[in-house]
């Protein structure tokens, strides 16, 4: 008789449920997040297990990798796609774990992609870079706002960085304001140096990603954006169609219609936010470097809001990158932007 195991993983503990083909819980227990403990609980049922499903939103690396290293058929649950069950008055972690095991038995458990272990560190490092970029931009905007608030001058970043200490002292006569600005500037410089350090680190390892050069043929995609796109995409074969890939990149709308009328919206945040950011950035760079893409953007911009036009251009770039990665072709601007 086959058994089905599911683990509802939390930040500091896990709930293990092992159910039989009649959906009866053979084993149901809350465990600490310790791999040896979980393995010891699974060991008596090892030969009968059809699978071990892990539901987690952020901390699954250690558990899924550990299960796979010890030969267990680990599966990563797509938490946002798990269908909810109706008719239950009270639900908790035990019922959630048993529900996952039941879905596995029925063959309808929605699964997430287990990203290759060897490429995760470089991908996650680029995610740290994106976080630092947001912090750096926030600090710079705060400094520019301070300068504008006290002087009435609206400066760009390059102009602000060219200010001399004498000009800053003249524009900000209050010592407390100058101290606050100097502190923010020191933080910005530190963050900027860390970004440069990450870029130097990944630059030495770009040859490990052979698909990078293919996506870099697209105008607007440089080494960092290209590396982010390739690593966040992973195996392109996991996307059944270009539409599925565009949806994963958050490039399609999330609306529900009935009889021609809008009835609501779905989860607009479903997908990969880092790919969405990368393609939006690529679109902003593309309109600077490609005349054909600029003309296409201008036609859209004449009819719609700027952000809608940029998003439409990003959608086109994402679709082009799908075929580049899937078919091994090169980017043809005349074909993509007629």
pLDDT tens for each residue of 188-197: 999 999 999 9
Same domain, 16 and 55: yes
As a whole number, mean pLDDT of residues 99-121 equals 92
Task: Classify burial at 327, counting beta carbons within 10 Å of its beta carbon; exposed 0-12, middle 13-18, buried 19 or more.
Answer: exposed
Same domain, 224 and 177: no
Q: Is residue 248 part of a domain?
A: yes
Question: Is pLDDT of 269 > 80?
Answer: no
According to the model, what pLDDT value does residue 105 have? 95
Which of these, 252, 254, 215, lies nearest to 232 by C-alpha position? 215
According to the model, what pLDDT value does residue 249 have? 94
Which of these, 251, 203, 261, lies nearest to 227 by C-alpha position? 203
According to the model, what pLDDT value does residue 252 have? 84
Q: What are phi and psi of 112, to 5 degrees?
A: -95, 170
Same domain, 172 and 236: no
Same domain, 277 and 192: no
According to the model, what pLDDT value does residue 71 have? 94
User: What contacts 24+ positions apart, CB below 8 Å, involve 77-81?
Assistant: 77/6, 77/53, 77/109, 77/110, 77/111, 77/112, 78/110, 78/111, 78/112, 79/55, 79/112, 80/267, 80/270, 81/110
**Banded model confidence at residue 254, pLDDT cuts 50, 70, 90:** confident
Q: What are phi and psi of 316, to 5 degrees?
A: -65, -40
Residue 88 vs residue 205, higher pLDDT? 205
Q: Is residue 308 part of a domain?
A: yes
As a whole number, mean pLDDT of residues 285-313 equals 92
**Banded model confidence at residue 321, pLDDT cuts 50, 70, 90:** very high
As a whole number, mean pLDDT of residues 13-22 equals 95
Same domain, 18 and 96: yes
According to the model, what pLDDT value does residue 46 have? 93
**Banded model confidence at residue 283, pLDDT cuts 50, 70, 90:** very high
Same domain, 309 and 235: yes
According to the model, what pLDDT value does residue 336 have? 78
Q: Which of 37-46, 258-267, 313-322 has the lowest mean pLDDT?
A: 258-267
Same domain, 232 and 199: no
Q: Is residue 184 part of a domain?
A: yes
As a whole number, mean pLDDT of residues 162-189 equals 92
According to the model, what pLDDT value does residue 153 have? 87
Q: How many domains does the chain have?
A: 3
Domain at 7, CATH number? 3.30.420.40
The residue range of the domain holding 297 is 214-336
Complete DSSP assignment for 153-188? ----HHHHHT--HHHHHHH---HHHHHHHHHHHHHH
Structure tokens at 72: 């267990």
Mean pLDDT across the chain, nearest whole number? 91
Same domain, 329 and 223: yes
- Final residue belonging to a domain, choices 208, 234, 268: 208
Q: What are phi and psi of 73, to 5 degrees?
A: -75, 80
Any idea what DSSP says for residue 206?
A: G
Enumerate the H helices of 204-290 as residue ranges.
Answer: 212-215, 223-233, 242-248, 273-289
Q: Is residue 220 part of a domain?
A: yes
According to the model, what pLDDT value does residue 81 have? 85
- Final residue belonging to a domain, choices 179, 208, 237: 208
Same domain, 102 and 22: yes
Residue 88 vs residue 195, higher pLDDT? 195
**Banded model confidence at residue 90, pLDDT cuts 50, 70, 90:** confident
Q: Is residue 111 part of a domain?
A: no
Same domain, 62 and 149: no
**Banded model confidence at residue 265, pLDDT cuts 50, 70, 90:** low
Question: Is pLDDT of 267 > 70?
Answer: no
**Banded model confidence at residue 209, pLDDT cuts 50, 70, 90:** confident
Same domain, 196 and 165: yes
* Separation CA 6–CA 54 (nearest Å): 6
Same domain, 259 and 198: no
Q: Contact 271/247 with Cβ under 8 angstroms?
A: yes
**Per-residue model confidence as pLDDT tens digits over 36-86:** 999 999 999 999 999 999 998 889 999 999 999 999 999 999 988 888 776
Structure tokens at 73: 């058929």
Q: Is residue 112 part of a domain?
A: no
Q: Which residues contact 283 (CB under 8 A, 6 or more apart)?
A: 220, 297, 310, 311, 313, 314, 317
Q: Is residue 323 part of a domain?
A: yes
Q: What is the SS3 assignment for 276?
A: helix
* Separation CA 337–CA 316 (nearest Å): 8
Question: Is pLDDT of 262 > 90?
Answer: no
Q: Is residue 306 part of a domain?
A: yes
For helices 35-42 and 61-69, the axis angle rounded to 10 degrees is: 50
Structure tokens at 16: 């293990």
- Final residue belonging to a domain, choices 144, 179, 208: 208
Structure tokens at 21: 């083909």
Question: Is pLDDT of 319 > 80?
Answer: yes
Q: What is the SS3 assignment for 330?
A: coil
Residues pairing with 31 in the sheet: 14
**Banded model confidence at residue 263, pLDDT cuts 50, 70, 90:** low
Q: Contact 216/199 with Cβ under 8 angstroms?
A: no
Structure tokens at 235: 């195996």
As a whole number, mean pLDDT of residues 19-47 equals 95
According to the model, what pLDDT value does residue 80 have? 83
* Separation CA 19–CA 7 (nearest Å): 12
């Amino acid at each position: 008789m086959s058994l089905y195991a599911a683990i509802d993983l939390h930040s500091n503990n896990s709930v293990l449920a092992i159910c039989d083909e009649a959906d009866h819980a053979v084993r149901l227990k809350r465990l600490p997040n310790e791999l040896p403990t979980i393995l010891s609980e699974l060991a008596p049922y090892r030969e009968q297990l059809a699978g071990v499903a892990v539901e987690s939103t952020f901390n699954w690396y250690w558990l899924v990798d550990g299960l796979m290293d010890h030969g267990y058929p680990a599966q990563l649950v797509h938490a946002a796609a798990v269908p909810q069950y109706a008719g239950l008055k009270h639900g908790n972690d035990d019922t959630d774990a048993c529900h996952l095991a039941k879905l596995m038995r029925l063959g309808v458990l929605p699964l997430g992609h287990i990203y290759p272990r060897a490429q995760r560190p470089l991908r996650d490092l680029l995610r740290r870079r994106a976080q630092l970029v947001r912090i750096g931009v926030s600090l710079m905007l705060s400094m520019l706002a301070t300068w504008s608030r006290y002087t009435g001058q609206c400066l760009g970043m390059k102009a602000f960085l060219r200010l001399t200490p004498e000009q800053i002292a003249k524009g900000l006569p209050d010592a407390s304001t100058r101290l606050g600005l100097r502190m923010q500037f020191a933080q910005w410089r530190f963050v900027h140096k860390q970004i440069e350090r990450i870029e130097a680190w990944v630059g030495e390892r770009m040859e490990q990603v052979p698909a990078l050069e293919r996506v870099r043929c697209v105008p607007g995609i440089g080494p960092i954006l290209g590396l982010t796109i390739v690593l966040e995409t992973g195996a392109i074969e996991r996307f059944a169609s270009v539409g599925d890939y565009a949806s994963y990149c958050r490039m399609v709308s999330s609306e529900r219609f009935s009889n021609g009328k809008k009835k609501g919206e779905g989860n607009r945040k479903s997908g990969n936010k880092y790919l969405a950011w990368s393609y939006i950035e690529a679109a902003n760079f593309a309109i600077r470097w490609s005349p054909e893409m600029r003309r296409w953007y201008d036609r859209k911009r004449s009819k719609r809001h700027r952000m809608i036009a940029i998003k439409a251009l990003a959608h086109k770039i994402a679709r082009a990158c799908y075929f580049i990665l899937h078919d091994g072709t090169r980017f043809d601007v005349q074909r993509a932007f007629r």
